[in-house]
Amino acid sequence: MQQITHWINGEHLTAARSLPVSNPSTGETIRDVADGDADTVAQAIVAAEAAFPAWRDTPPAKRAQVMYRFKQLLEDNSERLVQLISEEHGKTLEDAMGELKRGIENVEYACGVPELLKGEYSHNTGPGIDAWSNFQPLGVVAGITPFNFPAMVPLWMYPMAIACGNTFILKPSEKDPSSVLAVAELLAEAGLPNGVINVVQGGRATVEALLDAPAIKAVSFVGSTPIAESIYARGSAAGKRVQALGGAKNHAIVLPDADIDNAANTLMGAAFGSAGERCMAISVAVCVGDDAADRLIEAMQPKIAALKIGPGTEKGMDMGALVTAEHRDKVLGYIEDGVAAGAKLVADGRDISVPGHENGFFVGGCLFDQVTPDMRIYQEEIFGPVLCVVRADSLDDAIALINAHEYGNGTCLFTRDGEAARRFADQIEVGMVGINVPLPVPVAYHSFGGWKRSLFGDLHAYGPDAVRFYTRRKAISQRWPSSFETSHAEFSFPS
């Protein structure tokens, strides 16, 4: 069986041990992925450290030229890449293309790195003294990424990290690693010197070796909250700069004045797109008033029944399979739990069967009504095609409900009322907010990040925050005394 290898110093490296990679639509194991360990990480560090001095000293404009070529290669190879993504993740080809395009936006932003790295300058801060600050790369930095955006989330990280002059070690998800390896090869084709980007495959052992290695100066992580929290603690304790983005429970509030048809249509995509396996998926609709709830449910039920569910690689599907059998069983467990807790399952996708794909990990769209905050299906991230309707009495109650939730990644308000929208945007304790925009994922020249237990660390992902995350500021004061000046000792603090 084909092994998805490590990529170290511009070369494929096989491993004695491997992990299975399945096609979620058929349930079959289609490839193996190398399972790394501390030795693999050590090899990647040697390559990344060796490449760093020359890459750091490469002018930013030359580093940007690699990014321009890389962007073109990503576009030229997009069909092949989305096929790999869809085959291993299960999402539809269109959705995979969407993630790739959003990923490419980050490469475009990184092309502007000479401008982004411009420092600050002050003339004559004291007699004959000029001062400036500039931004220098950290050294070897690492990224650890989740299964659900196998191309886009890594693209949030390494284009800016390497454009800023760092060298990078990426640990992709072991569930869908093929596209990352294909992209690393494209970077080599774009002219990136060997060792500037390295890919180490595997699971926990690989991650822990990265966190503990003193040579690695910073770690970007995206994944579930329990792992994000432990990565933040372990990486920070080892003296690294860490940003760790975690899970979510994204609420949409539907006010009585909202265009319910529009809300229902956009919620279909936001809740069931990618089978709900998105950190920005809407998983709770908080309807203000029973009338809004009843109308929303009535509008959504037929749409959920009409969802086209099947292999993501087949054209025309709305929704593909969940990533693994274990994850499908976890999602089914939540649905059972919701029913047992007394929530009303008004659309039930549990018994779906896809002809010819009976062993695929499919779950159909599910809609729960009468969900209350004490239920597990409300409190925890399900990460599947399950939308919960909670009924609230007022906008203030809905805002208070969201603010009390442990997660704070994304949220949205459906309304025609500008005053309500302004109050919501102002008071909501969530990092990314949409007004009639259900998936308010910032474009690449803004930054992405949640609040509360959706992000551990200070700086958000990509955009301007990424420039700050992957560099450190140096402040320089300079004076060139003229030859006729006589110097004397000064013992008071310079002012």
Kindly list the residues in this chain that would bind ligand NAD in the complex (CB under 6 A): 144-149, 153, 171, 173-174, 203-204, 207, 222-224, 227, 245-248, 279, 381, 383, 409, 450, 454
Q: Please state the closest distance from residue 146 (CB atom) to ligand NAD, in A.
A: 3
Asked if residues 371 and 344 have their Cβ atoms less than 8 Å apart, the reply is: no
Q: Please state the closest distance from residue 242 (CB atom) to ligand NAD, in A.
A: 13
Task: Name the token pair of 209.
Answer: 């070796």
Q: Please state the closest distance from residue 173 (CB atom) to ligand NAD, in A.
A: 4
What is the rounded distance in angstroms from the CA atom of residue 271 to the CA atom of residue 160?
Answer: 30
Active-site choice (111, 164, 279, 388):
279
Asked if residues 139 and 52 have their Cβ atoms less than 8 Å apart, the reply is: yes
92-113 burial: b if 16+ Cβ within 10 Å, else e: bbebbbbbbebbbbbbebbbeb
**C-alpha distances in angstroms, 387 versus 106, 115, 246, 371, 491?**
30, 43, 20, 10, 68
What is the rounded distance in angstroms from the CA atom of residue 80 to the CA atom of residue 403?
Answer: 42
Asked if residues 448 and 459 have their Cβ atoms less than 8 Å apart, the reply is: no
**What DSSP string runs through 319-379?**
B---S-HHHHHHHHHHHHHHHHHT-EEEE--TT---TT-TTS-----EEEES--TTSHHHH
Q: Is 279 a catalytic residue?
A: yes
Task: Name the token pair of 174.
Answer: 């072991």
Rg for the chain, CA atoms, rounded? 25
Q: Please state the closest distance from residue 454 (CB atom) to ligand NAD, in A.
A: 6
Distance of CA 430 to the CA centre of its chain: 16
Strands (DSSP E) found in 355-470: 366-369, 386-392, 407-408, 410-414, 432-435, 451-452, 455-456
Q: How many CA atoms lie within 13 A of 147 on its CB side?
A: 22
Residue with smallest beta-carbon separation from ligand NAD:
223
Residue count of the chain: 495
Residue 310 CB-density burial (10 A; 0-12 exposed, 13-18 middle, 19+ buried): buried
**C-alpha distances in angstroms, 300 versus 304, 366, 409?**
6, 10, 24
Cα 10-3-69 angle, rounded to 5 deg: 35
Strand duo 366-369 + 386-392: pairing: parallel
Strand duo 129-137 + 120-126: pairing: antiparallel
What is the rounded distance in angstroms from the CA atom of residue 148 to the CA atom of residue 175?
Answer: 9
What is the rounded distance in angstroms from the CA atom of residue 422 to the CA atom of residue 410?
Answer: 16
| Active site members | 279
